[in-house]
Amino acid sequence: MSYVLGHNQYGKAEVHVVRVFRDNPDAPHDLVDYNVSVSLSGDFTDAHKTGDQANVLTTDACKNTVNSYAKEAGEAVREPESFGLALAEHFLEVPQVSGVRINIEAFPWARSHDNPHAFVKNGDYVRTVTVTGSDAGTSVVSGLKELTVLKTTDSEFHGFYQDKYTTLQPTDDRIMATAVTAQWAHEGTDVEWGKSFDQVLDAITGSFAAAYSYALQHTLFDMGSAVLDAAPSVAEVRFSCPNKHHFVVDLSPFGVENNCEVHYAADRPYGLIEATVKRTEDVDKTSAYDPGQAW
């Protein structure tokens, strides 16, 4: 029996590279901290079906390329999007490679005490990038994950559909908290990546803080609208946001009043609210997202 090989891809996952910029002896050092995954597709049928590896660029070479490009790619290394684009362009030059996907997680570091070479890992969030390339073109999806935000009021939830299993009490004042995962697809690749990322981050945190909320769903649409207002290159933004429930603890058995002051922070189960906000109905960037990451 002869079977058919379906879609296949391979590469090196999670090359963790930290690049220090220290070439100017008079300037403070900078650094970037990236976890890079490379996935190649193309003419690799023989590697699977006959065992002939002549077309296989080794995953070891993929790793070496990431490490060497962390120096060779110069200023492009400073932003994960431009680093991903440089890597994608390189791998597409390998004749048997027709498609490439580069995923980068970027861990932010902040300078410590204005010291020129000491840093504190900034654990607020992880920045993410997916670059895809093929004959059809190159696309960049930027993102972030693990951005945990909370507001102690200006959040209501009521008027919801009721069935016989509905026990949740409506509320007009509650804590709302979530760990934002967001990915946004750019139109084109001629973008000031760092500036654009800062605009999106500021739009997400700013609208979460400022917008009055009637549900996490409502807040997602507000955050998405703020992103599209702030960042001209962004065609659409996708959110995946766990509702980090904070339940008001009943202190009445102890004769203690609890006016939304004492909460039980439940870790699971959690509501998971996901939505795309896009500029127009006909935008469809689905193929630009990493299927392993995008919902």
Ligand X SMILES: O=c1[nH]c(=O)c2[nH]c(=O)[nH]c2[nH]1
Q: Which residues are annotated as a binding site?
A: 59-60, 157, 174, 217, 243
178 binds ligand X (CB under 6 A): no
- CA atoms of 274 and 216, how far apart (whole Å): 10
Question: Using the 8-state DSSP alphabet, how is residue 77 labeled?
Answer: G
243 binds ligand X (CB under 6 A): yes
- CA atoms of 196 and 223, how far apart (whole Å): 15
The stretch near ligand X (CB under 6 A) out of 44-52, 184-192, 213-221, 233-241 is 213-221
Positions at the binding site for urate: 59-60, 157, 174, 217, 243
157 binds ligand X (CB under 6 A): yes
97 binds ligand X (CB under 6 A): no
113 φ/ψ sector (left φ>0, alpha ψ -120 to 50, else beta): left
**Least Å from the CB of residue 221 to ligand X:** 12
- CA atoms of 15 and 63, how far apart (whole Å): 6
**Least Å from the CB of residue 228 to ligand X:** 22
168 binds ligand X (CB under 6 A): yes
Number of chain residues interacting with ligand X (CB under 6 A): 7
CA-based nearest residue to 37, from 100, 124, 121, 117: 100
The stretch near ligand X (CB under 6 A) out of 37-45, 54-62, 85-93, 214-222 is 214-222
* Binds ligand X (CB under 6 A): choice among 38, 62, 211, 215: 215
CA-based nearest residue to 104, from 217, 206, 193: 193
Positions at the binding site for O2: 243
188 binds ligand X (CB under 6 A): no
Could you tell me the end-to-end alpha-carbon distance of the chain, in angstroms, rounded to an integer? 36
Query: Site residues for ligand X, window 244-273 (CB under 6 A)?
Result: 271
| 3-state secondary structure (DSSP) of residue 252 | helix
User: CB–CB of 209/151 below 8 Å?
Assistant: yes
Angle ∠(101,179,235) on CA atoms, nearest 5: 45
Catalytic residue set:
12, 59, 245
The stretch near ligand X (CB under 6 A) out of 18-26, 84-92, 210-218, 253-261 is 210-218
Residues that bind ligand X (CB under 6 A): 157, 168, 215-217, 243, 271
